[in-house]
Amino acid sequence: MVVPRPAQLENTGDAPFTLLPGARIIVAGAGAEAVGRLLRDELATDCHRDLVVVHEPPAFGDIAIVIADDEGPAGHAPEGYTLDVSAEGVRVGAATSAGAFWGVQTLRQLVPAVCDGDPLTVDAVRISDQPRFAYRGAMLDVARHFFTPAEVKRFIDAIVLLKVNHLHLHLTDDQGWRIEIASWPELTRRGGSTGSDGSRGGYYTADAYRDLVAYAAERFVTIVPELDMPGHTNAALASYPELNPDGIAPALYTGSEVGFSTLRTGDAVTERFVRDVIGEVAALTPGPYLHIGGDESLSTSEQDFLGFIDHAMHVVADTGKIPVGWHEMGRSPDLPEGAVGQYWSFRTPREQAADETLSFVRAGGAVIMSPADVAYLDIVYEDGDAIGQDWADGATDLRSSYEWDPARIIPGLGDAHILGVEAPLWTETIATIEEVEDMAFPRLAAVAEIGWSAAPADTEAIDTARDFDDFATRLGRLAEHWDALGTSYRRVPGVPWP
């Protein structure tokens, strides 16, 4: 009854665990106390329980979190955990704090979401679990519509329940520049002042961004900042005339077109701009990745695009970060070694997308799979919906977001070179955090399961290997927690919603 489906789950048939008042969270090992406190807080939100976190030997009825080298699933899978539930107590074992935290997320799903006065019971199970991919991501476009730090934290709270461990923030686009850059203050002062449809605008100060990154890190989520270049840059171009090919600043932009803007490539001022913004964001970001976009640069000549990308990718690499770019960047003949490409074409690759993506592998890097027709969270659920886009071959219903596999899209690209999967949420048409959640859930649960749970057997067709009905049943249970947490979700057909 867990999403994503655990690698091994055995119902032992023993008497269930009863969570009684006075139960304690027992913590042992480095990092266990922090994870224990998060469990206490999360159970408190779910069910108003008052649990204490202590360093003591476990007694009957306690919940133990044990972190030690010899804990977790056999084979020491990073982020793996074991979870044992019996009448005696609950025990989460892991070799890393991340593993313990994901074990805690599984436990949260097993504990009933609704407290009706009776003591809460959890069926006796033995779970051994580990992820298929290291990178399980969601992307939030805070450039088209801005979302406050509190709203982004709320989104982080919701994605960790699904064991999503990367949040890609699309920080800049034509409609807004959302991160303070000390050496180029107009980027946010002017470029951050509006958003799509003339929305409120806004930006993260360096301190607010640092705080957000720390909040995410405490929950084992890595923030992946994206500064999209050389296209998708109208907000920067409106802030500084010298960045424009013609030296004239355009008006701020609040529409939904793409591909009309470009930095003045090959120019010393632009190169300084690129070094400054990448340098400042790299310095603010503890995570290993820095994404520099490169998509839909339709107003940059091919020669200028290649020269620009070559320069910017190496500027990122020089900061010590791993450069990430949308698959178009794979056109560069000189990718820095280890650069990561993000694929956003379809389940059946179009144009040069497959080859552009494979060039990251040829450069010793890896790939994040975000096929737009199944992994994009801003695509409408049903034809004709008022919110969302329909350019990726029409609607994406829950079943299509579940029945695909990242290793069966690009011939020659298998698990070894796939870093993971990511579900992007673009926000041209999405204005509030409730709308964000409504578009993300339940489809993000489908993508999260594809990223975490074991691959279907090779010989089976994908639509029979992933058991949609089983997924839908588990999702119905998960939704009880969404209801308790106040997370919005779309009640799509085919799921036994509470």
- Residues at the site binding ligand TNX, with contacts judged by CB under 6 A: 258, 295-296, 326, 344, 376, 378, 389, 426, 428
Q: Using CA atoms, how far apart are residues 384 and 363, in angstroms rounded to an integer?
A: 42
Report in angstroms how near the CB of residue 296 gets to ligand TNX at its nearest: 5
Q: Using CA atoms, how far apart are residues 200 and 184, in angstroms rounded to an integer?
A: 21
Out of 151, 296, 382, 480, pick the active-site residue: 296
19 vs 139 by CB, closer to ligand TNX: 139
Active site residue 296: yes
Both structure tokens of 375: 């992994």
389 vs 488 by CB, closer to ligand TNX: 389
Question: What is the signed CA dihedral for 489, 491, 496, 498, rounded to 10 degrees?
Answer: 60
269 vs 391 by CB, closer to ligand TNX: 391
CA atoms within 13 A on the CB side of 405: 20
Report in angstroms how near the CB of residue 370 gets to ligand TNX at its nearest: 8
Q: How many CB atoms lie within 10 A of CB 114?
A: 13
Report in angstroms how near the CB of residue 244 gets to ligand TNX at its nearest: 20
Q: Is the peptide bond before 230 cis (omega within 30 degrees of 0)?
A: yes
Report in angstroms how near the CB of residue 141 gets to ligand TNX at its nearest: 6
The sign of the dihedral angle between the CA atoms of 292, 205, 221, 457 is: negative
186 vs 296 by CB, closer to ligand TNX: 296
Q: Using CA atoms, how far apart are residues 43 and 51, in angstroms rounded to an integer?
A: 8
Q: Using CA atoms, how far apart are residues 488 and 41, in angstroms rounded to an integer?
A: 20
152 vs 353 by CB, closer to ligand TNX: 353
How far is CA 422 from each of CA 169, 369, 401, rounded to the nearest angstrom?
Answer: 12, 6, 12
Report in angstroms how near the CB of residue 113 gets to ligand TNX at its nearest: 33
* Mutual angle of helices 302-318 and 268-284, in 10-degree steps: 40
Q: How far is CA 386 from the centre of its chain?
A: 25
Q: Using CA atoms, how far apart are residues 177 and 452, in angstroms rounded to an integer?
A: 33
35 vs 419 by CB, closer to ligand TNX: 419
Report in angstroms how near the CB of residue 444 gets to ligand TNX at its nearest: 15
Report in angstroms how near the CB of residue 327 gets to ligand TNX at its nearest: 8
Which residue, chain included where needed, has tokens 């178009």? 328
Report in angstroms how near the CB of residue 168 gets to ligand TNX at its nearest: 11
17 vs 146 by CB, closer to ligand TNX: 146
Question: What is the SS3 string spanning 276-308?
Answer: HHHHHHHHHCCCCEEEEECCCCCCCCHHHHHHH
The sign of the dihedral angle between the CA atoms of 51, 82, 462, 470 is: negative
206 vs 258 by CB, closer to ligand TNX: 258
H-run or E-run covering 439: helix 433-440
How far is CA 43 from each of CA 50, 418, 462, rounded to the nearest angstrom?
Answer: 8, 34, 36
Q: Using CA atoms, how far apart are residues 388 and 196, in angstroms rounded to an integer?
A: 13
Q: Which residues are catalytic?
A: 296
